[in-house]
Amino acid sequence: MSEAAATPATGPADTAEPHRRAGRGWTASLSLANGAIWAGWYGPIQILLALQAAALAPPGTSKESVLAWVTGLGAAVSLVANPLFGALSDRTVSRYGRRAPWILAGVLGGAAALALLAGARTVAGMALGWCLVQLALNAAFAAITAAVPDRVPRPQRGAVGGWLGAAQILGVLAGTGLATLAGGVVAGYLACAGFTVLATLPHLLLHKDPPLPAAHRPPFTWRAFLAGFWLSPRRHPDLGWAWLTRFLINLGNALALLYLLYYLRDALHQPDPEGGVLILTAVNGVTLLGTVVLGGIRSDRAGRRKPFVLGAGVVMAVATALLAGWQTWPGALCAAALLGIGFGVFTSVDFALMTEVLPAAAHRGKDLGILNIANSLPQVAAPALAAPIVSHLGGYRALYLVAAAVGLLGALLVRRIRGVA
């Protein structure tokens, strides 16, 4: 399908719902760019930050506490950055389009911040570097996410969400692989930085982002701009329940993944925990790739979203509970496989569901940024919950039982959404 076919029939400057299907080349390049962002995030999250925390933790301070503070601060930055840059991209008037300038600036800034993080020699420097990574990459991610409802009709969003989800897990795997195999913490950060930039270029160079004419940009006042970041769950109940569902399922997932390296090292006593994380990530990736696109396509064809999200959340809760009840290497492998099956379906279908509860087409970037807080806030909450649970309230067994319960609650609450089948 031609590039022109990826443009809404109403014209590139129109903010109405698109009607013409997105082309394969556009979907593939956007998915690759999405995967690049996740590689820039998850190389550090899965491997590099944990190794840095262990090396830089001051005497008397645990590596778990250092990792929790650093990742928590970075996630707090992302809470603000994602809706802020989404709102700015909604209003951007440029001959290069609304979203493309922020994608470019975000990946270049993120690569520079990863290089700065590679040179950190103190916990404070590590925290600063990670906060800058989150700030920049969230600018790019907000723009990439908003491009989907800009250009993709609703009946195709499950499938496109599936391809974005597939790219996400491949990005996680690529980031983890680069971090593990590059040859040290510094080399790992630089490898992730280079990949993040290079994998984004095809979308920026090959596909034009439709511009927003100045006449279509709404008048600006600080009061209206700031007020727009509050979306009342009373006025928009479906959006509120969708946000809570995403938040709880992602919180359960974040609790399960945060201390995975330490779980393998300290609970399972794996001789090569870094390699173990890579193997589990690969197993998770294979099963996720087997369901993420298929789940989105099946959801499109069924014309339903909620049953898929509910089923996926239940499978993820069972997988997390396995880490508590079967603390062996085979148990971890089975949990990784099940978690991939559930998260694959959840990733594609939940994304499509979120685009269908947006209140206003003209503010897609900002509204999706607010919904994406449900991805970022768990990264703040998870360290605050996980550290005391592991240290004082039952260790890893209790941690994974709590994670399973939280995720299951999120899956059940999807039934409260009324405007989406």
Q: Are 308 and 361 in contact (CB under 8 A)?
A: no
How many CB atoms are located within 10 Å of the residue 221 CB?
Answer: 9
Backbone angles phi, psi at 167, to 5 degrees: -65, -35
**Of the candidates 140, 213, 160, the residue with the CA atom closest to the CA atom of residue 365:** 140
Whole-model pTM: value is 0.80
- Residue 395, sorted as left (phi over 0), alpha (psi -120 to 50) or beta, turns out to be left
- pLDDT digit string (tens) for the chain, length 421 residues: 333 333 333 344 445 678 788 899 999 999 999 999 999 999 998 899 999 999 999 998 888 889 989 988 998 898 899 999 999 999 898 888 899 999 999 999 999 999 999 999 999 999 999 999 999 999 999 999 999 998 999 889 999 999 998 898 789 889 999 998 988 999 999 999 999 999 999 999 999 888 887 777 777 777 777 777 887 788 889 989 999 999 999 999 989 888 888 899 988 988 888 899 889 988 988 898 899 999 999 999 998 999 999 999 999 999 999 999 899 999 999 999 999 999 999 999 999 999 888 887 778 889 899 988 888 788 778 888 888 898 888 888 999 999 999 999 999 999 999 888 7
Name the token pair of 276: 């173990």
Per-residue confidence (pLDDT) for residue 15, from 0 to 100 = 58
| Closest to 268 (Cα-Cα) out of 414, 397, 376, 162 | 397
pLDDT of residue 43: 93
Closest CA to 197 of 140, 151, 256, 239: 140
Contact, 147 vs 30, CB < 8 A? yes
Domains of the chain listed by start with CATH number? 15-416 (1.20.1250.20)
What is 28-67 written as a DSSP string? HHHHHHHHHHHHHHHHIIIIIHHHHHHHHPPTTS-HHHHH
- Determine the pLDDT at residue 392: 84
